[in-house]
Amino acid sequence: MEIVFVNLYYIENPDKSWVLVDTGLYGSADRIRKAAEDKFGKGNPPRAILLTHGHFDHVGALQTLADIWQVPVFAHPLELPYLTGLSSYPPPDSSVGGGGMAYMSFMYPKKPITFKGRLELLHPDGSVPFMPEWKWLETPGHSPGHVSFFREHDRVLLVGDAFVTRKPESALAVLTQKQEVCGPPAYFTPDWAAARSSVRKLADLHPEVAASGHGLPMRGQELKQGLDELARLFDQLAIPAKGRYVPEPAITDRSGVVQLPPTVNNTVPKVLATAGLVALAGLATYAFTKQRKSSTNARVKRTWPGYARRPGQSFSPGGSDTQDQGNISHDPNVNITNNYP
């Protein structure tokens, strides 16, 4: 399902249970819920919500949907700082990539969300909760804790943004949906060496179908040729000639951003930045209209009655998990770090 320019996925199991992967943009919760009811029936919520990563266009409806369905949310440990209010992501670099989506990236939300609910860790053995046919793989680069999901028996790959199937920097490509295998969105990728390794790892899986965060699913020979070429020529095809994160990556750890490379002069012409602002305003109007039409938020409690824990996997606000993640608190008095303007 596409929400403006980003995809999310409903995954059905053989027993008819299902899981949601990513949650799209803010204001899209009612549309996502109604589509789920049409497909799976009313009163049949997902078993869980899984996140490929926590960028704004993948977690926009997360809190509302988790409140409606009261289901756990699973993510990689390195994504926790950006889901619990501890750290912002490395700021986007609108000087790279070209195209309308890149030009307006300096205006995208980059502060963390503070999710209140059952936020749990993906198990280190690669198994996927409530998806027995699938495994998850670490595919960092586009974000520190980015993951992808793979079903081996039919070689279906849910990529997230480790690579995408349309030119991610182009606003025109959003409209035309022209298919091509491309690297991760350049303006929001702070570690190109890790991104290269992730693409090569995914190419080694030889997927028959790839469904990414941006663009239509691709399959067969067209996918194989495009992905093999991207893996082989990643530096030439995906890495910008210059940009803030090209010479050196952002340094992150389990607390969030530790160190950033120096800023670079943004060569984006003012007229293009203005065009980006107009485009972003249009997208914001769309999301706001959807939100106003929805009565969801008025009906749903915004907080959970409690926080469930699963041994060996769970993360709870103010506590620590068994993998020694450290204490990450929802206490409003805790300083929020790295909230770049």
In-domain check, residue 320: no
User: Is residue 308 over pLDDT 60?
Assistant: no
| Residue 295 confidence (pLDDT) above 70 | no
Do residues 85 and 257 make contact, with C-beta atoms less than 8 angstroms apart? no
Token representation of residue 36: 């789920």
How far is the C-alpha of 71 from the C-alpha of 19, rounded, in Å? 10
Residue pair 247/97 in contact (Cβ under 8 Å)? The answer is no
Does residue 321 form part of some domain? no
d(CA 282, CA 67): 28
Average confidence score pLDDT of the chain:
83
- 136 vs 288: which has the higher pLDDT: 136
Q: Is residue 341 included in any domain, yes or no?
A: no
Given a cut of 50, is residue 318 above it in pLDDT? no
The residue type found at 10 is Y
DSSP 285: H
Question: What's the average model confidence in pLDDT over 175-181?
Answer: 88
The yes-or-no verdict on residue 96 having pLDDT over 50 is: yes
Domain around 255: 2-315
Radius of gyration of the chain, Cα coordinates, nearest whole angstrom: 19
User: In this structure, are strands 251-253 and 256-259 parallel, antiparallel, or unpaired?
Assistant: antiparallel
- Give the pLDDT of residue 176: 80
In a domain, 191, yes or no: yes
Residue 229: pLDDT over 60: yes
Specify the pLDDT at position 58. 97
In 36-182, the DSSP E strands lie at: 49-50, 73-75, 119-121, 134-138, 147-151, 156-160
- pLDDT tens, 52-90? 999 999 999 999 999 999 999 999 999 999 999 999 999
What CATH number should be reported for the domain holding residue 168?
3.60.15.10
β-sheet bridge partners, residue 244: none
User: Quick one: what percent of the chain has pLDDT higher than 70?
Assistant: 74
Residue 108: Cβ within 10 Å count: 18
77-106 burial, b at 16+ Cβ within 10 Å, e below that, comes to bbbbbbbbbbbbbbbbbbbbbbbbbbbbbb
pLDDT band at 189; cut points 50, 70, 90: very high
- Domain membership of residue 322 (yes or no) is no
Per-residue model confidence (pLDDT) at position 190 = 98
Report yes or no on 71 lying in a domain: yes
**Is 142 contained in some domain?**
yes
Asked if residue 29 is part of any domain, the answer here is yes
Tally of domains within the chain: 1
State mean pLDDT over 217-228.
Answer: 97
Helix residue spans in 123-254 (DSSP H): 171-176, 192-203, 220-232, 234-237
Give the span between the Cα atoms of 166 and 116, in whole angstroms. Answer: 33
Over residues 185-208, mean pLDDT: 97
